Amino acid sequence: MPAIKSLEELKRIREEALQKKQLKATPGNVQVIVAMGTCGIAAGARDTMKSVLSYIETQKLSGVTVSQTGCIGLCEQEPILQIMLGDQPKVIYGKVDAQVAQKIMQQHVQNGQPVKENIIQI
Amino acid sequence: MREIALHLLDIAENSAAAESQNIRMEVHEDLSRDLLTACVTDDGRGMDVTTAQKVQDPFYTTRTTRNVGLGIPLLKLAAEMADGHFSLLSEPGKGTCVKAVFRHSHIDRMPLGDLSATFLTALVSHPDIHWTFIYQVTDKNGNSGDFSFDDAELKTELGDLSLTEPEVLTFVHGMIEEGIDALALQTIN
């Protein structure tokens, strides 16, 4: 099984990541939640997720937790992305395609400025 | 749904919701038998025979936010449209195995789609689940190659370091993508 490219490489990556994490952690606890019900997936949630992950990769953004949730009953607003920054209330975004996801990551997650036009008020 | 890979992700989400600890996603493109098989096997809470029948009906769902459940019926339909078939085996307390078979060359067969994005999404979204991903390709002459990824070794090595740390993500993402792309090339040649 060609499971891991090289264990040595992974060990090195782990050491480096741990060091950097101490130096450059995102302030507070950041959680990005992508809705992954059937409705979300059909509307493009996987592309939204891919976009969030590629933003973390390219911007070398440490300390972000990415998770998923099921259908939250707002299927017509999918793909839905939720952001929790520290102890601030959760912000729910609708119609988050790959581009909007990049914008949310940059403006909201990195600079603390919510992207108003995509927020869902409930 | 536009891709078989998206259906797989959707079915795997059901498995995760059923409190599975181990989930295996498998795809086999077999050109020698002209078949494409996609399966998700889990050790979640499972279903009794009646429920396993009912989930294939679009007007049955366990969710509370809507009274239709389309995931399984859509996959079943997609398989049957491409001269294939669908099976769902389940046992309460043991787990569930969902399998969809398509005729590979059928004009209505959905494209496989971005399998590496499906695997990466599943892996990152449910870090507590033990994932196994298998992608196998058999060419017209019966020669097979496969990419298989079991996340156990990776997770032991990472310890408490999150999969979403940028360096880790680049590593895992690259590994899955390279493995799958190398095989996908074989189906074209």
Place of tokens 């196998």: B136
Question: Would residue A8 count as lying in a domain?
Answer: no
User: How many domains, chain A?
Assistant: 1
| Fold exhibited by the domain B4-188 | Heat Shock Protein 90 (3.30.565)
Residues A83 and B73: their CA atoms lie apart, in Å, by 32
Question: Would residue A15 count as lying in a domain?
Answer: no
Which run of H or of E encompasses A3?
none
CB A53 within 8 A of CB B120: yes
DSSP reduced 3-state for A1: coil
| Angle of CA points B155, B159, B163, to nearest 5° | 60
Say what percent of chain B tops pLDDT 70: 94
Q: State the CATH number of the domain containing residue A91.
A: 3.40.30.10
Between chains, do A61 and B166 touch, taking CB under 8 Å as contact? Answer: yes
Q: How confident is residue B163, by pLDDT bands cut at 50, 70 and 90?
A: very high
The encoded tokens of residue B77 equal 């339909």
Q: What residues of A are in contact with residue B125 (Cβ under 8 Å)?
A: 34, 36, 49, 66-68
ipTM score assigned to the predicted complex: 0.89
Scanning every residue of chain B, which has its alpha carbon at the shortest distance from the alpha carbon of A69? B125
pTM for the whole structure: 0.90
Scanning every residue of chain B, which has its alpha carbon at the shortest distance from the alpha carbon of A56? B166
Q: What mean pLDDT do residues A49-54 have?
A: 97
Between chains, do B63 and A71 touch, taking CB under 8 Å as contact? Answer: yes
Say what percent of chain B tops pLDDT 90: 80
Which stretches of B36-114 are DSSP H helices? 49-54, 71-81
Residues A102 and A115: their CA atoms lie apart, in Å, by 11
